[in-house]
Amino acid sequence: MRPNPLTVWQLISLFPALLLLKAVGSRASEAEAKCGKDVISRDNQKYSCKCYPGDACYPSAKKWQKFNSTVDGNLSVAFPPAAPCYPSVAGTPTFDAAKCAEVQANFFGQQWTTDQPIANMWTYWTNETCLPFPTENVQTCSRGFYGDYVITAKTKKHIKAGIDFARENNLRLVIRNTGHDFLGRSTGFGSLILNTHSFKDVTFTKRFTGPGNYRGGAVTVGAGMQLRDLYWLANAQSPPVVVVGGECPTVGIAGGYIQGGGHGPMSSFYGMAADQALSFEVVTASGKYVTANAVENRDLFWALKGGGPSTFAAIISVTVKTFPEVPAAGIILNINSTHTNDTELFWKGVAAVHDLSNHWVDHGIFIYHEIATLRLHVQPIVGPNMTAAQINAIAKPMFDALDSQGVPYSSVTKEFPTFFDLYIDMFEDEGAGSSALVGGRIFVRQDIEENASGIIEAYKTATANNAFIIGHVVGPGHGAPIVDNAIHPVWRNASSFSITSISIPGNAPLTEKARVQNLITNVVGEAFREAGPHGGAYVNEGDLEEPNWQQEYWGSNYPRLYRLKQVWDPQGVFYARTTPGTEDWEVIDFGTKLCKKCQRN
């Protein structure tokens, strides 16, 4: 149940006593000079933390109420999506049978999840302390790692007000567009959540006349616009156009997706989503409205194109290139236990697809596939500007390898008048509500050429450790060889990118969380790094414990990104783990308090 903003203020006084108590730490005058007034110690490290309930610096109820008027009544106390299924949360009655039934019916649906004020698509980083199906042993609901308050921003003034309030009161700020996030960056314990999902404005132009040399079609997209809706609108233009976006329909194109780089079905044809950015309208950490493009604030423009989500500014809108629609063809391929239980034969089938990654990319093809024990599901192989005959000709080496080795499979090839028609027909919706730890690796052309069999062995290691693999054959360097942005340069030589995930409840014991994290990082992750030594990792879909993450996520671009973080956000108003500058910060006390490192004891 979402509370009425006009009545929640009488409840605010209950929160300090019911949330985490203020940490007690030693004081040191020399640290205070560097860190501020309030300094705490943990394990020989001194910290200066954001303000939380119970801290003297935390805003009073009266201050929150005044702030609510500043954002036109769009501030609410934040409750987990499943709160209506429980008697109360933090002393506030929340049970509502009808709303609970709605939550239970929709909890695993992505669109419903994105439309909620604070919900996360994947629940591990919420701590899963409020799931929608109470059991006999679990009849209580708590916030877990969800934030305390949420601004449902309706205007750019609300975005600015939220940033200003967080900065002036030293609050942890979370920017939440859709919650479409593997890595928990859309939530944070005790935070103020800035929800930009309402920004749905879309404006197309046939000829971009802004800064730079580009004069083709473009579209300006609000921060809350999701990809499937944008694809529909692009297809409705006269003539139809296409936008470089992701494969998942509920991703918000203007948020963390494009700020992290953004790969998708047209990336082997046109490049990454960040390659298409022409201009950003943002609010900076200092609360200024800023335009960033090829002429204005060029350093910020460069950083926003792949330099990390929720790192340099809050997005109001982004303008990206559009392209004329093209015909498209696609292939679906399956090899699973209905075809064979022969493990050796199965992996020959996986190799027949993946060993050709460079070949696929050379023809502008994108492939989405899933790998688990005795299950290879390829849906689809995407051939832009191709007929069924043309894509089958390109796929002939794959089919020949499968047939010559006696690998049983099923497949179907289709052709469509536009990419949009292929997308609607062949791409499958994904679910929400799962809990897992995630890793991943970018494999470049050299890795494929020199060690294709080693990559298959790494895949075997992953599935042997109960990891699920979401694979993408994608080559943004083929589609956009000349670029100037912050994404890792290895993307320009990429032919394949794989996500690994291992299921684990968000409320699992810390020992179990550590065990699974070790598998993701030091067993599966290490196997992938050894198989692809020339590659890297992807900040939007990677391992939060990735060793040497600065280099793995950004390569030679990282030093410049770190410097720009100090220029555009010196106080650390924006925070998203393993993004530029976050090595200066740490979330302590079992995933709760966000604190800046001061000095060692």
Q: Rounded mean pLDDT of 497-501?
A: 98
Q: Are 192 and 149 in contact (CB under 8 A)?
A: yes
pLDDT of 28 > 60? The answer is: no
State the pairing for strand pair 149-152/92-93: unpaired
Q: Rounded mean pLDDT of 502-522?
A: 97
| Alpha-carbon gap, residue 502 to 462, rounded angstroms | 9
Domain over 328-555 is classified CATH 3.40.50.170: no
| Alpha-carbon gap, residue 279 to 34, rounded angstroms | 37
Q: Can you give the pLDDT at residue 14?
A: 34
**Residues near 471 by Cβ (< 8 Å), separated by ≥ 6?**
354, 367, 368, 369, 370, 371, 496, 497, 498, 499
pLDDT of 274 > 90? The answer is: yes
Question: Confidence band (pLDDT; 50, 70, 90) for 29?
Answer: very low
pLDDT of 302 > 70? The answer is: yes
Token readout for 578 is: 């393993």
Render 447-502 in DSSP notation, one character per residue: HHHHHHHHHHHHHHHHHHTT-EEEEEE--HHHH-SS--SSS-GGGGGEEEEEEEEE
Which residue carries 């990336």 as its tokens? 267
Closest CA relative to residue 469, chosen from 441, 446, 430: 441
What is the per-residue pLDDT across 307-336, written as a single tens digit (0 to 9) for each? 999 999 999 999 999 999 999 999 999 999
Q: Can you give the pLDDT at residue 600?
A: 59
pLDDT of 176 > 90? The answer is: yes
Q: Can you give the pLDDT at residue 275?
A: 97
pLDDT of 481 > 90? The answer is: no
| Alpha-carbon gap, residue 487 to 489, rounded angstroms | 6
Helices (H) and strands (E) in the chain, counts: 22, 24
Average of per-residue pLDDT values in the chain: 93
% residues pLDDT > 90 (the chain): 90
Evaluated on CA atoms 204, 206, 208, 214, the torsion sign reads positive
Closest CA relative to residue 21, chosen from 55, 51, 57: 55
Is the omega angle on the peptide bond into residue 380 within 30 degrees of 0, that is, cis? Answer: yes
- Strands, sheet with 289-293, edge to edge from the N-terminal-most edge strand: 202-205, 218-222, 314-321, 277-283, 289-293
What is the per-residue pLDDT across 123-136, written as a single tens digit (0 to 9) for each? 999 999 999 998 77
pLDDT of 34 > 80? The answer is: no
Domain over 9-195 is classified CATH 3.30.43.10: yes
Q: Can you give the pLDDT at residue 13?
A: 34
Q: Can you give the pLDDT at residue 30?
A: 37
Q: Rounded mean pLDDT of 435-445?
A: 98
pLDDT of 26 > 80? The answer is: no
Give how far Cα 524 sits from Cα of 80, 187, 250, 544, Å: 32, 26, 28, 14
Write the single-letter amino acid at 441.
R
Say which range, 29-33, 375-379, 405-409, 578-582, has the weakest mean pLDDT: 29-33
Token readout for 324 is: 């004329």
How many Å is the maximal CA-CA distance in the chain? 75
List the domain boundaries for the chain: 9-195, 202-324, 328-555
| Alpha-carbon gap, residue 536 to 557, rounded angstroms | 13
Say which range, 18-22, 47-51, 184-188, 228-232, has the weakest mean pLDDT: 18-22
| Alpha-carbon gap, residue 246 to 235, rounded angstroms | 16
Q: Rounded mean pLDDT of 363-387?
A: 98
Level-2 CATH architecture, domain 202-324: 2-Layer Sandwich (3.30)
What is the per-residue pLDDT across 229-244, written as a single tens digit (0 to 9) for each? 999 999 999 999 999 9
% residues pLDDT > 70 (the chain): 93
State the pairing for strand pair 192-195/149-152: parallel
Question: Confidence band (pLDDT; 50, 70, 90) for 36?
Answer: low
Q: Can you give the pLDDT at residue 10?
A: 35
Q: Can you give the pLDDT at residue 80?
A: 97
pLDDT of 8 > 90? The answer is: no
